[in-house]
């Protein structure tokens, strides 16, 4: 049996978005990073807030989740944690840097913030 990869490329994610597949794009960066630009329709739950049970209230375990951060490191930690808890999760390989290199700067619209923190000064 072939094991599926925990990673997804920017191109693969864009195809899923264009096909309107039922996925949740989970951006685990800090709210101020999310405000600077994110993939449309993504939700923002910072990595340190994932254990608070907030995700379980809004995303069914059967739904595919794609985790995102700036370079893919924090989102990979999130992907591993989600997979351990029974979620179908993949990590955007290269994070927003990879997304932006292919599709330009992410648009800031469709904002959904959960448990936001104040912006640094």
Active site (catalytic) residues? 69
Q: Tell which residue, 119, 120, 111, has the closest CA to residue 27.
A: 111
The H or E element containing residue 103 is helix 95-103
Contacts of 99 (CB under 8 A, 6+ apart): 10, 13, 39, 68, 92, 106
Angle (deg, nearest 10), helices 95-103 and 10-18: 70
The three-class DSSP label of residue 8 is strand
């Amino acid at each position: 049996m072939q094991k599926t990869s925990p990673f997804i490329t920017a191109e693969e994610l864009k195809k899923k978005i264009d096909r309107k597949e039922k996925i949740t794009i989970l951006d685990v960066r800090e709210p101020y990073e999310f405000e600077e630009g994110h993939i449309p329709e993504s939700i923002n739950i910072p990595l340190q807030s994932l254990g608070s049970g907030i995700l379980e209230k809004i995303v069914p375990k059967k739904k595919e989740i794609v985790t995102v951060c700036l370079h893919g490191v924090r989102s990979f930690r999130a992907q591993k944690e989600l997979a351990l808890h029974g979620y179908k999760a993949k990590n955007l390989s290269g994070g927003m840097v990879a997304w932006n290199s292919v599709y330009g700067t992410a648009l800031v619209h469709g904002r959904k913030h959960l448990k936001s923190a104040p912006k640094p000064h």
